[in-house]
């Protein structure tokens, strides 16, 4: 253990901070094997150590390696450009016929804040701050997280101070013994933090006798485009749902120079539309084969590095048609995080860093995520926009189901799909 543990931590740390994303997974595996962090095969027999004090220290080190590796992997999962596509893939599997949106950036902040409350996480505060600080918070994107704790569960002031400073995270007391009152408190929070765009999302029947903690995580966005979509150009155009069916929807139109390309891996056409602040842009991915459509693309996108897709786009003159839409979703994150390997939060976590007590009944019962995004002209110009360039522009007509992602160079803030454009 003595000679393997430092090398294991070294490889994990090196993979986090210095390696390109394509190499990190291999280094994590090397680090895990070298550190012998499992308590089963390959772990150290602490009974062979000569003194009780040495055994105690070694047990602490083993637990710290286990937890630190879990947190480091979680942090890297959130920072990884593939996290967004993995999260979307899990969420979309049963929702291909309705519009959905979720926020990977906001989800990662919520996960990081909860892990602060796990044992030994104070020693890992610097690691978590790699995610919490920096450019993840933007004025145009509202992300709010809150943990609702039963009034009978103790809560450490130190935990609240750390998370409020780093992740803009707060904790509220509720009485889960009164399911209606507790759900009203959670819904009031969601309503206020989404500017009344979402209402009554948390039903009191989700609160059980053993409910101790509920995490509410919200994100919403309505940005201004860098290239104007004139209201005068918007009109009803057909949106093809497949099987020969189409519906008329309000569709925006513009001509301009955009980043455009085709992805052979995704069998999709891609365009990137910038927002006004030059930090954010929207990737729109449309299946090239209308017959395979959204189901095929949602499968292919799993484990895809969307940033790499964006880097392969080129400046082209594009005739862009994009339907107006408004999407708001409510998702129980535990159902999509567990297949991604994030299970301990919802089973038997040691939340002594949050509560000050080691009680196995203290766990996250529900992690509710709600996101809202609106796409419209967001301008009042009446002048029609017409193509005046040379040659024929590329036609990118988003007139059938597509995937979208709002990003900056470092983070995916929103990802989802439009199955049927709706503006209400």
Complete DSSP assignment for 312-328 = T-EEEEEEEEEE-EEEE
The per-residue pLDDT for 135 is 58
CA distance 281 to 276: 9
The per-residue pLDDT for 227 is 80
Return the number of other C-beta atoms located less than 10 Å from residue 94's C-beta: 10
Under a CB-based contact definition with an 8 Å cutoff, are residues 60 and 32 in contact? no
CA dihedral (225, 423, 407, 29) in degrees, to 10, reads -170
Q: Helix, strand or coil for residue 335?
A: helix
**What are the tens digits of pLDDT across the range 133-165?**
445 667 788 888 888 999 998 887 776 666 666
CA distance 23 to 25: 6
CA distance 387 to 395: 12
Under a CB-based contact definition with an 8 Å cutoff, are residues 218 and 101 in contact? no
CA distance 107 to 89: 15
C-alpha closest to that of 69 among 118, 22, 20: 118
CA distance 61 to 52: 14
Return the number of other C-beta atoms located less than 10 Å from residue 109's C-beta: 27
CA distance 369 to 91: 11
CA dihedral (128, 132, 135, 138) in degrees, to 10, reads 160
Kind of pairing, strands 235-242 and 245-263?
antiparallel
Q: Record the tokens describing residue 383, joined without a space.
A: 């002048």
With a cut of 70, which residues of the chain have pLDDT below it? Answer: 1-81, 116-137, 159-169, 379-391
Taken in order of first residue, the domains within the chain and their CATH numbers are 4-79 (no CATH), 107-120+141-217+331-371 (3.30.497.10)
Q: Helix, strand or coil for residue 185?
A: helix
The per-residue pLDDT for 141 is 86
Collect all residues with Cβ–Cβ distance below 8 Å to 417 and sequence separation of at least 6. Answer: 88, 92, 96, 99, 100, 294, 298, 401, 402, 403, 404
**What are the tens digits of pLDDT across the range 331-364?**
999 999 888 877 777 877 777 777 777 777 788 8
pTM greater than 0.85: no
DSSP tag of 123: G
DSSP string, 149-167: EETTS---HHHHHHHHHHH
DSSP string, 245-262: EEEEEEEEEEEEEEEEEE
Residue that has been written with the tokens 């059980």 in this structure: 208
The per-residue pLDDT for 294 is 95
Q: For the chain, how many residues are written?
A: 424
How many Cα neighbours within 13 Å face the side chain of 103?
A: 31
């Amino acid at each position: 253990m003595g000679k393997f543990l430092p090398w294991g931590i070294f490889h994990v740390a090196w993979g986090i901070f210095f390696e390109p994303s394509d190499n990190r997974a291999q280094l994590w595996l090397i680090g895990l094997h070298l550190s012998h962090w499992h308590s089963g095969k390959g772990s150290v027999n602490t009974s062979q150590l000569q003194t009780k004090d040495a055994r105690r220290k070694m047990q602490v080190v083993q637990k710290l390696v286990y937890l630190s590796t879990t947190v480091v992997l979680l942090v890297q999962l959130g920072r990884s450009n593939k996290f967004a596509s993995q999260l979307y893939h899990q969420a979309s599997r049963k929702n291909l016929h309705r519009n959905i949106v979720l926020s990977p950036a906001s989800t990662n902040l919520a996960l990081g804040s909860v892990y602060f409350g796990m044992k030994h996480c104070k020693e890992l505060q610097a690691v978590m701050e790699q995610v919490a600080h920096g450019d993840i918070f933007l004025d145009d994107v509202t992300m709010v997280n809150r943990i609702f704790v039963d009034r009978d569960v103790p809560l450490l002031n130190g935990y609240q101070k750390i998370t409020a400073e780093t992740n803009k995270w707060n904790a509220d007391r509720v009485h889960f013994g009164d399911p209606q009152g507790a759900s009203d408190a959670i819904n009031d929070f969601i309503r206020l933090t989404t500017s009344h765009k979402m209402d009554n999302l948390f039903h009191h029947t989700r609160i059980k006798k053993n409910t101790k903690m509920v995490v509410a995580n919200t994100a919403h966005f309505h940005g201004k485009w860098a290239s104007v979509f004139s209201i005068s150009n918007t009109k009803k155009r057909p949106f093809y749902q497949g099987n020969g069916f189409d519906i008329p929807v309000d569709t925006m139109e513009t001509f301009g120079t955009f980043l455009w390309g085709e992805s052979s891996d995704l069998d999709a056409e891609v365009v990137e539309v910038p927002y006004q602040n030059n930090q954010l842009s929207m990737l729109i991915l449309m299946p090239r084969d209308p017959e395979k459509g959204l189901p095929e693309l949602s499968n292919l996108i799993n484990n895809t590095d969307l940033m790499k897709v964006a880097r392969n786009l080129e400046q082209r003159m594009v005739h862009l048609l994009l339907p107006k839409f408004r999407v708001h979703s409510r998702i129980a994150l535990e159902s999509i995080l567990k297949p991604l390997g994030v299970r301990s939060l919802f089973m038997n976590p040691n939340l002594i860093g949050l509560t000050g007590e080691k009680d196995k009944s203290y766990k996250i019962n529900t992690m509710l995520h709600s996101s809202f995004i609106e796409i419209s002209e967001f301008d009042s110009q009446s002048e029609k926009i017409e193509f005046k360039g040379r040659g024929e522009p590329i036609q990118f007509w988003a007139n059938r189901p597509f995937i979208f992602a709002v990003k900056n160079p470092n983070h995916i803030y929103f990802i989802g799909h439009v199955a049927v454009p709706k503006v209400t």
